[in-house]
Structure 1
Amino acid sequence: MIISERKISKELAFYRALSSRFCLEEKDAKKLSVLERGYKGERIYDEVFDEEGHSSVFVFRDIYLRIEDSTAQYDALIVSDAGITVNEIKNYSGFYRVERGKWYAGNFEVPDDPPAQLKRAMNKLLKLKYIHRLNFDIEGKVVFPHIDFRLNFDNQDVRERLVMRSELRDYLKRFSNEYAGRYAERIAEAVSSHIIDNPFFDKSANFDSVSKGLYCGNCGGFEVETWAYHFFCTACKSRETKESHVIRALSDYTALFTNEKLTRKRLLEFIDYKVSPRTIVRMLSKYCTRFGAGNATYYEFNYENYEDVVENHEYIRRYKNHMIKI
Structure 2
Amino acid sequence: MFVQLMLRPKDYCPRRGCNMNNNYVLSYINPDTDGIACAISMAKLLSSKNENWTPAVFGSIGKETLFVLNSLEISIPTTDILLDEVDKIVLVDTHHKTQLPIGFPYDRVVSIIDHHPNGDEDLFPNADILNRKIGAAASLVAEMYIKRKIVDIPILKLLGFAILSNTLNFCAPSWTEFDKNIFRKICDIAPIDAEQIDRMFEQRSLILKKDIYVALGADFKVFDTKFGRVGVSQIEAYNLENMIDVSQCVDALQRLADENELDLCLFNGVDIRYKRSLVIAANSQSQELLSSLFRLDECSESHIFNRILLRKTDFVPQLNM
TM-score (norm. length: structure 1): 0.26
- Bigger proportion of residues as strand: 1
- Bigger proportion of residues as helix: 2
Q: Which has the larger radius of gyration?
A: 1
Which structure carries more relative contact order (alpha carbon 8 Å, separation 6+)?
1
TM-score (norm. length: structure 2): 0.26
